[in-house]
Amino acid sequence: MNKFKSLTTTAIVCSTLTVISFSSNAMDKQIESALIDVCKSTLTDSVAKFHRTAKSYNLKEKTVALKVMCNGNDIIDFAQKYGAYKTAARLERSVSGHVDIIDVAKVEKINVNFEL
């Protein structure tokens, strides 16, 4: 009986850990939607629209510039690739002028993919 109880407990713990690990790897739909909006706002090449969009989601431009990737590209490269040079320049300025020592291995970028 103890063996059965032990196996049942082990199965429950394993299934719980599996569910937790799968849910933590998936991006929250609200966050994904916010990041897609930010990526799309860079394509308009309107600095004001980009700023309003980032601000509406309480995102700092520096954080967006350093951590967001759109369709596999760094957000600055993404903006330049599609001709949004004003927005790309604004993002570059948000990270230049600040000297930080960053552990490169610790920096994680968030990638969102969407259809244009």
pLDDT digits (tens, 9 = 90+) for 15-70: 443 444 344 456 788 989 999 999 999 999 999 999 999 999 999 999 999 999 99
The mean pLDDT of 84-100, rounded to a whole number, is 83
Q: What is the pTM of this model?
A: 0.64
DSSP string over the chain: -HHHHHHHHHHHHHHHHHHHHHHHHSPPHHHHHHHHHHHHHHHTT-HHHHHHHHHHTT--HHHHHHHEEETTEEHHHHHHHTT-HHHHHHHHHHHTT------TTT---EEE----
Provide the pLDDT confidence category of residue 82 given band limits of 50, 70 and 90. very high
Domain ranges, ordered by start, for the chain: 27-112
Q: What is the pLDDT of residue 100?
A: 56
